[in-house]
């Protein structure tokens, strides 16, 4: 592992000069190079190369477990236009974000390290406008920029496996695979801790607002979901309760959540609509 | 007459709802370089440039724009280009190539890594990996220029006021 870290630092030191020229970084390259190891790994203990590796593998797992990718080119283009607008003003503006739609009727969103952001077809079709789509995507972008998933890896025993395998060495595949499994399990089954979710709600709202989308996009979307006759497993099952999220964002939660009214769209209608 | 104070109050509330910054507050540049502009307009003349992580003092706000100073130069920045909290040092890694083989183009469009492809192979998830690669190609086909056009049409980002 020490060899991999030293190699990473050496490569960074060698190429910081060219990065300085290519990206216009107005920093002292020698000063930066001297602290390359510290910067390369950062507080999460995972560098960008490792993040891209673990993120790609987690993305594969998410796609495999959530019905595959919905290959609607127009819809995918739309979420990428909205998502890339948001990403430009995120806390990691040069990270290569990719946005895709999962071919499932449940309403949910997922993200993987490295910039992979997914929303489900159910969420895409339930969103009434770009503001609500932006709110869902901004929430997921903030999970990436705040490195919520990487914290799971960095504080676990899997970090050495991730580092070695991502570096291309033979490495400990078992440790790497267990690391991917731990992140995937958190995302698809247990969900993040509520603190991380509320953090992503709050930061996502700021990101959407700063980009120029409506500030209340997430609240109005969550309020709409409250009116749908869908069971808990079908609506943001890996996220905190809708009412709690709405109230923490300063909105008013429905006291008759999931009850129907004359003008609301029923869950069954939504599912029928989304199955096209 | 009574409507004036309410209107003024509404404007104040709208302003505070749009931005999370206050005059005198410190914010931090989060782009590799952020231009300081003469006015709150993306087409305005550049009066200076601040590097990533630079602390800036907020002097005024106008819509989604902030007038700031780095201590030497005063100028306007788009609020989306700064953060209210100091960005972590590791974010600077995003600006750098990750391997000796990286070129500027490669950094701009990193494909599914070899280690992720091997992971998919070990787990017999080839179909899902192909889906991810399809999604990557679709995403990468949406160019920066196309995003600019979308933002301009919608009045988003620094195309807005």
Q: Contact at 8 Å (CB) between A143 and A132?
A: no
Say whether A15 and B136 touch across the interface (CB within 8 A): no
Average pLDDT in the B123-131 region?
97
A184-213: pLDDT as tens digits:
998 888 888 888 888 899 999 999 999 999
What is the Cβ-side half-sphere exposure of residue A23, based on CA atoms within 13 angstroms? Answer: 28
Query: Based on the domain organization, do A156 and A250 belong to the same domain?
Result: yes
A192 and A166 co-located in one domain:
yes
Helix (H) / strand (E) element for A118: namely strand A116-120
Instruction: For chain A, positions 127-146, list CB contacts with chain B under 8 A.
Output: 130
Q: Are strands A109-112 and A116-120 parallel, antiparallel or unpaired?
A: antiparallel
Helices A173-185, A159-166: inter-axial angle, 10-degree rounding? 110
DSSP string, B95-111: GS-SSTT--HHHHHT--
Domain ranges within chain B, ordered by starting residue: 1-96, 97-161
pLDDT in tens, A99-111: 999 999 999 999 9
Find the length of chain A: 276
Tell me, yes or no, whether A181 and A69 share the same domain: yes
- pLDDT grade for B127, boundaries at 50, 70 and 90: very high
Residue numbers in B near A177 (CB within 8 A): 119, 122-123
Instruction: Give me A74's structure tokens.
Output: 């127009």
ipTM exceeds 0.85, yes or no: no
Domain span holding position A230: 47-274
Which pLDDT score is estimated for B128? 97
Pair A163, A191 in one domain: yes
pTM check: above 0.80: no
The topology (CATH level 3) of B1-96 is SH3 type barrels. (2.30.30)
- Cβ neighbours around B12 below 10 Å, total: 10
A73 and A6 inside one domain? no
Given an 8 Å threshold on Cβ–Cβ distance, is A177 in contact with B151? no
């Amino acid at each position: 592992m020490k060899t991999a870290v030293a190699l990473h630092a050496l490569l960074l030191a060698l190429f910081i000069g060219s990065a300085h020229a290519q990206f216009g970084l107005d920093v002292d390259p020698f000063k930066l190079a001297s602290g390359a190891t510290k910067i390369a790994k950062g507080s999460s203990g995972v560098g960008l190369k490792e993040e891209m590796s673990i993120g790609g593998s987690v993305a594969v797992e998410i796609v495999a477990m959530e019905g595959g990718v919905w290959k609607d080119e127009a819809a995918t283009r739309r979420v990428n236009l909205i998502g890339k607008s948001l990403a430009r003003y995120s806390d990691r503006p040069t990270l290569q974000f990719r946005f895709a739609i999962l071919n499932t009727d449940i309403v949910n969103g997922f993200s993987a390290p490295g910039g992979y952001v997914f929303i489900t077809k159910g969420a895409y079709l339930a969103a009434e406008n770009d503001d609500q789509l932006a709110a869902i995507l901004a929430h997921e972008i903030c999970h990436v920029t705040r490195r919520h998933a990487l914290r799971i890896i960095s504080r676990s025993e899997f970090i050495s496996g991730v580092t070695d395998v991502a570096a291309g060495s033979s490495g400990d595949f078992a440790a790497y695979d267990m690391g991917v499994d731990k992140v995937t399990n958190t995302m698809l089954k247990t969900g993040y801790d509520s603190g991380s979710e509320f953090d992503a709600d709050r930061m996502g709202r700021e990101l959407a607002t700063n980009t120029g989308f409506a500030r209340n996009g997430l609240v109005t979307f969550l309020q709409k979901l409250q009116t749908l006759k869908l069971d808990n497993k079908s609506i943001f099952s890996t996220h905190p309760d809708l009412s709690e999220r709405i109230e923490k964002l300063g909105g008013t939660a429905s006291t008759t959540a999931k009850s129907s009214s004359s003008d609301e769209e029923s869950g069954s209608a939504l599912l029928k609509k989304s199955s096209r | 007459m009574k409507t004036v104070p309410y209107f003024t109050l509404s404007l104040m509330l709208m302003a505070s709802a749009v931005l999370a910054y206050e005059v005198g507050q410190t914010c931090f540049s989060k782009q590799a370089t952020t231009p300081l502009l003469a006015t709150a307009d993306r087409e305005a003349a550049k009066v200076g440039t601040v590097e990533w992580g630079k602390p800036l003092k907020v002097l005024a706000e106008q819509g989604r724009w902030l007038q700031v100073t780095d201590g030497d130069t005063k100028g306007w920045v788009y609020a989306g280009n700064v953060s209210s909290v100091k960005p972590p040092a590791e974010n600077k890694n995003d600006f750098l190539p990750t391997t000796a083989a990286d070129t500027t183009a490669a950094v701009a469009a990193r494909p599914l890594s070899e280690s992720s492809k091997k992971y998919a192979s070990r787990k017999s998830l080839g179909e899902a990996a192909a889906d991810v690669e399809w999604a990557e190609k679709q995403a990468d086909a949406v160019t920066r220029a196309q995003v600019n056009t979308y933002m301009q049409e919608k009045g988003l980002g620094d195309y807005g006021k």
